[in-house]
Amino acid sequence: GEDVEQSLFLSVREGDSSVINCTYTDSSSTYLYWYKQEPGAGLQLLTYIFSNMDMKQDQRLTVLLNKKDKHLSLRIADTQTGDSAIYFCAAAPGLGGSQGNLIFGKGTKLSVKP
Listed in sequence order, the residues at least 6 apart from 40 whose beta carbon sits closer than 8 Å to its beta carbon are none
From 16-24, 43-51, 60-68, 69-77, give the range in contact with another protein by CB under 8 A. Answer: 43-51
Complex with another protein: residue 17 or 101, whichever CB lies closer: 101
- Residue 33 touching another protein (CB under 8 A): yes
In DSSP notation, the chain reads ---EEE-SEEEEETTS-EEEEEEE--TT--EEEEEEE-TT--EEEEEEEETT-SEEEETTEEEEEETTTTEEEEEESS--GGG-EEEEEEEETTGGGTT---EE---EEEEEE-
Binding track, positions 52-91, relative to another protein; x by CB under 8 A: ------------------------------------x-x-
Complex with another protein: residue 31 or 83, whichever CB lies closer: 31
Question: By rule CB under 8 A, what count of residues binds another protein?
Answer: 27
Give the residues lining the site for another protein (CB under 8 A): 4, 31, 33, 35, 40-45, 48, 88, 90, 92, 95-107
